[in-house]
Chains A and B, each alone.
Chain A
């Protein structure tokens, strides 16, 4: 059975633009506006970050947006409430990104059920161990037709890449460099050879390259070596101090997609 994410990959395999934003940032009630504006301007997949107090894989930009969102009142329950009617507005694939502790406290089953109710298609949980997923959660996600994407990095061994390929049901998140989010911009030759190495493995799961993708140039370069790219910190930075997020979001996507 397909969900919106896996259906997208059936139909389009090139230059897929995925955009990350932190739920509740810049303001608590911006969630729906940002999602709709991203979708209308041409983003193919939207990754909604659940703000966390201690996001180990994230740099200062996402950390600060998360703290601002938490201070503004964002919680998982608030987020699911905000998403109740989202499927009457857009059919863009939506994925949630959060740390495993947040799911544990909410209750994993309740979390997954609420994902189904609101129409979430996929998950990224960077600190969920592969083994634990396989043992305890794989069946739960499969039953509910929710995809999951695991990460690989330049240091990931080939045997593990194949394991990630076998377990990922949405896409493989190809972390572009050994770093936390938002640290570097641009793509070096050294990264290109890593992308080529991954491409040459002909993995069965689609791949999206993320971390350090910040503008049209890096988006297009990354898309040459994968099915598309993920932009996060650069979009959060763009939203900072914006009172009106609808046009601000559209402006940002236009800069990425329009030559």
Chain B
């Protein structure tokens, strides 16, 4: 794992950095407000939500899993937190209950994957629909306003001029990144993504690792839901559709492979920056929102193609070597 320890600025990462620079050059030449301090902070704020989810996806996809439910879980968590707060629950408990509910959703996801042996895509598609439904059901389809000043502060507070939500993302990325690169748990994630059966025989517990990854994703979504609702001053059941789409794009752009077993948090950071500056840029140069969907699709296609090319290269190097070195 020596290679993973140092954040290696290899070929892939250089390409990413170049892509980010290109995006910045294009958008700032089209709109002079793009490359300003305020706007960069805006990008970071908007990116912080994608970022939280992308952290969870980094773990899951390296472990050869996936999750399509985060958008729904974030919306549900926002509504739940807003409702609890409206019912007079102190903010500390609001956070606790919301985080626990996020964790439970993670348990449910991993139950379907581990025990019912569903494909993670299908399993979490189920969750996406069910949880989105509950987001509407618990608030009767109407946004829930937030009045608790402590709750509202979360979305407004700035430390050294940088919003709290951005700090939270940075800290979580650092913590999760270190765990992934330096700890036993990180090693387990890579091993399971490489070969689940072999990992189990080697004395690892793949089901438990997958369970924890899904729980962490649920918790990250809950935190995201609280922050987002605070910024909006309300819990919105219809919000955050396609959030997982951006997060997965960021993670794949950052060099994590759909095959599992490779990549790291360093790449994800670049992926988040790239996708969020792209999205914000599109809005700022007034690309109609319908076309934005198309553009994002194109970006994901680009990410998948790079992943495919990398995979081909790797497969040629690794898989064939392993098959035939007998």
Same complex: no
Name B's A-contacting residues (CB within 8 A).
none
